[in-house]
Amino acid sequence: MKSGEGTKQEKGEVVMTTKVQKWGNSLAVRIPSQIAEQLQIRQGSEMEIVVANGAITFRPKKKKPALDELLAKVTPENRHNEIDLGVEGNELI
C-alpha cells in the first residue's frame, strides 16, 4: 500500500483511504487489489457511480443473467401449470 493510504474497520465496514489522481481530462481512484478480489472486479468490469447526500458510492454493475443461467434455476417444484388460452387464433386474452 502506498504512503498516505490506510485501512481501518468501521461499523462492520472496511474503510480505505486513497488519493484521487488525474487520468487524462478526468480524475481516477484506484481500487486496492484486496477489495477488487473480494468484489470480483476485474479490468473492464462495469461500475455504477451513485452520488447522494454529498457522498460517492461505487458498486459493481449487476450483469443481466444469460438465458442458460435463468433456465438452470427452473425446477419441477417452481414451474407453474399450463394455462389454457383458448383456440389458436381466438385466444381469450
> What confidence tier does 92 reach under pLDDT thresholds 50, 70, 90?
low
pLDDT number for residue 2: 45
pLDDT number for residue 4: 44
Task: Indicate if the pLDDT at residue 73 is higher than 50.
Answer: yes
Which of 12 and 3 is assigned the larger pLDDT?
Answer: 12
Name the percent of the chain in helix, strand, coil, to the closest 5.
15, 35, 45
Q: What span, in angstroms and rounded, lies between the C-alpha atoms of 47 and 58?
A: 6
pLDDT number for residue 82: 87
Which of 52 and 83 is assigned the larger pLDDT?
Answer: 52
Q: Which of 26, 25, 8 is nearest to 17 (CA)?
A: 8
pLDDT, tens digit (0-9, with 9 covering 90-100), for 16-71: 888 999 999 999 999 988 889 988 899 999 999 999 999 999 998 888 888 998 99
